Amino acid sequence: MTNPTIAVATLTKPVLARYMDDLIALEQLIVAELGTLYDEHPWGVPEFEMDLPGKWDYSWCATDTDTEAAVGFLVISRFGDNLHAHRMIVHPKYRRHGIARNFLERHFAKAQAAGLDYYTAQVPYDNHATRDWYINRGFELLRNDTLTWYLRARESTDENAGDHLVAPEGRSWVVRYAIEAFTPSA
């Protein structure tokens, strides 16, 4: 694919309504591609429409301006002075075009301006590629005390297993990024 022209917008309720079919299709595509390395249960309309604290301020949608199709999204919620990623997907044909980086740069700039502290994400335990993607971008893998911080901050009943979480739905890594450390790229 030659360089597509990508537009990124805040994932507001009207943007969600416009691209709902595309977002659901992306979820299904990624679940088919990655299975439990992503999530066994793709989101549908109820999950996408669920109101979460901060979701409509800190989530993003990427579209191909030529096809007018959604090609990626990042869904976020806020807990205290922190943000948590629930979903980040880029269509396989649009990977390596800087969409995820664009999401994070916009996201961190907005969060930094609001004085927020951390961005966190849970990664399925067997998904080493995604865990490493985050770590290679300066994210910290939470362990022991920092994992306890996460569980308390999120009011989670998951079990701290030292370097990962154990929950009824499976094990996961947790990564964290200090928003104050963000420096926009040139």
Asked whether the predicted pLDDT for residue 166 surpasses 80, the reply is yes
Q: What is the rounded average pLDDT of the residues 64-70? A: 95
Q: What percent of the chain has pLDDT over 90?
A: 82
Beta strand 170-178 with 165-167 is antiparallel
Per-residue confidence band for 107, with pLDDT thresholds at 50, 70 and 90 = confident
CB 109 within 8 A of CB 10: no
Per-residue confidence band for 169, with pLDDT thresholds at 50, 70 and 90 = confident
**Poorest-pLDDT segment among 49-53, 55-59, 101-105:** 101-105
- Tokens at 166, concatenated: 């154990």
What pLDDT is attached to residue 1? 59
pTM here? 0.91
Asked whether the predicted pLDDT for residue 185 surpasses 80, the reply is no
| Spatial distance between the Cα atoms of 116 and 19, rounded to a whole number of angstroms | 29
Backbone angles phi, psi at 13, to 5 degrees: -60, -45
Closest CA to 128 of 79, 71, 73, 173: 173
Asked whether the predicted pLDDT for residue 186 surpasses 70, the reply is no
| Spatial distance between the Cα atoms of 37 and 161, rounded to a whole number of angstroms | 19
The pLDDT tens digits for 69-96 are 999 999 999 999 999 999 999 999 999 9
Query: Exposed, middle or buried by CB within 10 Å (0-12, 13-18, 19+), for 157?
Result: exposed
Which residue segments constitute the domains of the chain, with CATH numbers given?
Answer: 1-116 (3.40.630.30), 118-181 (no CATH)
| Spatial distance between the Cα atoms of 72 and 26, rounded to a whole number of angstroms | 8
What pLDDT is attached to residue 40? 73
Per-residue confidence band for 111, with pLDDT thresholds at 50, 70 and 90 = very high
Asked whether the predicted pLDDT for residue 122 surpasses 70, the reply is yes
